[in-house]
């Protein structure tokens, strides 16, 4: 592997995992889609903050069975090519991490299946048997670049050594800081406009030539 890129940061929802939103994945499971849609509209109309949106959504799940949540997280479908993509990157020498504004149960379950050790996502609080309706937020819709900066300080890597892959607006600040940004089936045009590469394909492995080929050109 050429030394130019050393780390690949993946978004979770819509990128490694097939559902576009892990929050909505759990809303569908627990039958809270209707109210959650109202919370979503309040956020996108600027009437509530992202933090309040997360807290309102989490409150809808108070009392939900922890076992049911964890079972659903383990069943969350991967995007086609996710396993091949991560395995190929790791075999080639890249470190792979997840930074997601989604939820820790899904992020951790997906990471375990893919052999990814480092995950940043938001924690649903439980009492051992059920969700309490609280959420501990680490990653928001606007701070992924700050999470990455902290990680880079620990690992002594530089932003130009990072590849970021994702699909939604929460990736835009991150895309602006890294060496290579890949919008994978971007949800809207603003994401694709900021990314250096746009990939529209059902299979995630279609991003590999852009990463591996770029390093070959740099060699």
pLDDT digits (tens, 9 = 90+) for 116-172: 999 999 999 999 999 999 999 999 999 999 999 999 999 999 999 999 999 999 999
Q: 31-80, pLDDT tens digit by residue? A: 999 999 999 999 999 999 999 999 999 999 999 999 999 999 999 999 99
Residue 8 has pLDDT above 60, yes or no: yes
Query: Does residue 2 sit within a domain?
Result: no
* pLDDT bucket at 112, cuts 50 / 70 / 90: very high
Residue 216 has pLDDT above 50, yes or no: no
The total number of structural domains in the chain stands at 1
In this predicted structure, what is the pLDDT of residue 214? 60
In this predicted structure, what is the pLDDT of residue 153? 95
Query: Does residue 132 sit within a domain?
Result: yes
Q: What CATH number corresponds to the domain at position 134?
A: 3.40.50.1000
How far apart are the C-alpha atoms of 17 and 80, rounded to whole Å? 9
In this predicted structure, what is the pLDDT of residue 219? 41
Percent of the chain beyond pLDDT 90?
A: 95
Range of the domain at 72: 7-218
In this predicted structure, what is the pLDDT of residue 213? 81
**What average pLDDT does this structure show over 93-101?**
97
Query: Does residue 1 sit within a domain?
Result: no
Query: Does residue 147 sit within a domain?
Result: yes
Q: How many CA atoms lie within 13 A of 129 on its CB side?
A: 1
Query: Does residue 136 sit within a domain?
Result: yes
Query: Does residue 143 sit within a domain?
Result: yes
Percent of the chain beyond pLDDT 70?
A: 96
The residues, ordered by sequence, that sit 6+ positions from 199 with a Cβ below 8 Å of its Cβ are: 182, 183, 184, 185, 206, 207, 210
* pLDDT bucket at 97, cuts 50 / 70 / 90: very high
Residue of 155, 203, 196 lying closest to 179 (CA atoms): 196
Query: Does residue 197 sit within a domain?
Result: yes
Query: Does residue 71 sit within a domain?
Result: yes
In this predicted structure, what is the pLDDT of residue 218? 46
How far apart are the C-alpha atoms of 133 and 136, rounded to whole Å? 10
* pLDDT bucket at 4, cuts 50 / 70 / 90: confident
């Amino acid at each position: 592997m050429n030394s130019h890129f050393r780390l690949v940061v993946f978004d979770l929802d819509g990128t490694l995992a097939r559902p576009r939103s892990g929050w909505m994945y759990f809303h569908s499971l627990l039958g809270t889609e209707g109210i959650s849609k109202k919370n979503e509209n309040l956020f996108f109309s600027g009437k509530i903050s992202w933090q309040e949106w997360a807290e309102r959504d989490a409150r809808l799940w108070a009392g939900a069975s922890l076992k049911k949540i964890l079972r659903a997280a383990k069943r969350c479908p991967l995007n086609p090519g996710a396993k091949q993509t991560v395995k190929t990157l790791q075999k080639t020498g890249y470190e792979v991490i997840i930074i997601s504004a989604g939820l820790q149960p899904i992020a951790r379950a997906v990471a375990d299946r893919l052999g990814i050790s480092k995950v940043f996502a938001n924690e649903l609080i439980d009492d051992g048997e059920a969700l309490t309706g609280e959420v501990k937020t680490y990653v928001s819709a606007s701070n992924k670049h700050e999470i990455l900066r902290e990680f880079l300080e620990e690992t002594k890597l530089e932003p130009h050594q990072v590849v970021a892959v994702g699909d939604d607006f929460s990736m835009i600040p991150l895309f602006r800081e890294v060496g290579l940004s890949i919008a994978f089936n971007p949800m809207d045009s603003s994401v694709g406009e900021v990314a250096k590469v746009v990939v529209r394909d059902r299979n995630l492995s279609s991003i590999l030539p852009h990463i591996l080929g770029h390093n070959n050109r740099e060699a």
